[in-house]
Amino acid sequence: MRELVVVENVSLDGVMLAPGRRDEDTRGGFDRGGGASALAEAALIRSARLPFG
């Protein structure tokens, strides 16, 4: 059996967010998207380099 690893960005009110720029997904008048990549980029790079095992 394989292991499935999922990384997602969820706001405190349970909304799944796009990880890119704040203006990445503004459909429906939503103006608070993204913004996580600036904070998490180094951590994501480190975790992506870890071997899956």
Whole-angstrom distance, CA of residue 11 vs CA of residue 34 = 10
**What's the predicted TM-score (pTM) here?**
0.34
Integer angstrom CA distances of residue 53 from 3, 4, 7, 49 = 8, 11, 17, 12
DSSP output for 8-24: -EE-TTS-EE-SS-TTS
What are the structural domain ranges in the chain? 9-49
Whole-angstrom distance, CA of residue 10 vs CA of residue 15 = 5
At 37-50, the pLDDT tens digits run 666 677 778 888 88
- Residue 14 amino acid letter: G
At 1-53, the pLDDT tens digits run 899 988 777 778 887 776 677 777 777 777 776 666 666 677 778 888 888 75
